[in-house]
Amino acid sequence: MIYLYGFAFLALAASFSANFKKTVLALKTAWREFFQILPTLVIMVILVTILLFLVPDQVIVAYLRNHDKWIGFLFATLFGSITIMPGFIAFPLCGILLKKGVAYMVLSAFANTLMMVGVATFPLEKRYFGTKAALMRNASSLFIAIIVALVTGFFYGELL
């Protein structure tokens, strides 16, 4: 995070010293694009908070530890797709689940869909890509997430 700010600051400083007018234009562009997207972002966060309320962490844990790994797999895919969590929450959670005996395959399905498939980010994605492209991207991501999870299961000897 600090590096990102540092980098942006350096880039900005370099830009200012190279061409003042161009830099002002850049900042104006940044400002305009930010405000274009702000309402959609707020809506997204609202969706996420409501979703996380409806599907709290404990419920996720309970379902993923299911004895039948395929049911766990199914729920992992489902939870991962509809919720969004920052990575620094998601991975520690995966670490805890792993210690509790959740299969790697299930964790992989959860982590993959969490990051690649976004039902809650859909309104945002739709603004940039359009409904059709956003739908297709999410569908293909879901497919990829499942394949990756299965391969993971294979390498950890959990598949059979």
Contact status, residue 75 vs residue 113, Cβ threshold 8 Å? no
Distance CA 22, CA 15 (A): 8
| Beta carbon of residue 152, minimum distance to other proteins (angstroms, whole number) | 5
Q: Which of residues 2-61 bind other proteins (CB under 8 A)?
A: 4-5, 7-9, 11-12, 15, 22-23, 25-31, 33-34, 37, 39-46, 48-50, 52-53
Q: Which of residues 61-90 bind other proteins (CB under 8 A)?
A: 84, 86-88
Q: Does 159 bind other proteins (CB under 8 A)?
A: no
Site size toward other proteins (CB under 8 A) is: 75
Q: Which of residues 109-128 bind other proteins (CB under 8 A)?
A: 111-112, 115-116, 118, 121, 123-128
